[in-house]
Amino acid sequence: MISEYLNVMDHRARTSLSAVAMTGGVLATASFAFFGARAGISAAAGAALAGVNLWAWARIVAALLPEDQGGAHAQSRAAWVLVAGLKVLAWVAIAWLLMRHGLVQVGPLLVGLLSLPIGIAIGSLVSDRSAVPEDP
């Protein structure tokens, strides 16, 4: 089941998603080790939000950019734009609810969210090096 969701994404997106997950794990572990259990859980929640955010964007972009001509004509781009907008609203609402009800600490949550840009940068560097060069 998970492989179906990952097969939609290209190599770079899968590598970046893996890098975000690993970076989030490192940041959550460091927060737990240095600042306690609540900080570790808050950082893990931020990392989970970051990972789900990247996964959702990768799915949306893959749907908006189909590989075949028939797929491009068969879909409604407006529906995917609506899905993207709802995703952003849901992401902000979840983060707000977690902070509003005191389920997470704000600082460590932000540390966990840092796994998104750090993981994307690492994933881009690693996937570019492992890409197979095309024949001219």
| 50-70 tens-digit pLDDT | 999 999 988 888 877 777 666
Model-level pTM?
A: 0.80
Q: Is residue 88 part of a domain?
A: yes
**Selection from 109, 99, 112 nearest residue 47 by Cα:** 112
* DSSP codes, 66-91: -SSHHHHHHS-HHHHHHHHHHHHHHH
* Integer angstrom CA distances of residue 61 from 15, 46, 48, 54, 102: 16, 22, 20, 10, 33
Number of domains present in the structure of the chain: 1
Where are the alpha helices (H) located in the chain, listed in sequence order?
Answer: 2-7, 11-35, 37-64, 69-74, 77-100, 106-113, 115-130
Q: Is residue 136 part of a domain?
A: no
Nearest-angstrom CA–CA distance, 25 and 72: 37
| 93-131 tens-digit pLDDT | 999 999 999 999 999 999 999 999 999 999 988 877 655
Average of per-residue pLDDT across 75-103 = 88
User: Which residues constitute the domain of residue 41?
Assistant: 2-130
Q: pLDDT category, 30, cuts 50, 70, 90?
A: very high
Q: Is residue 40 part of a domain?
A: yes
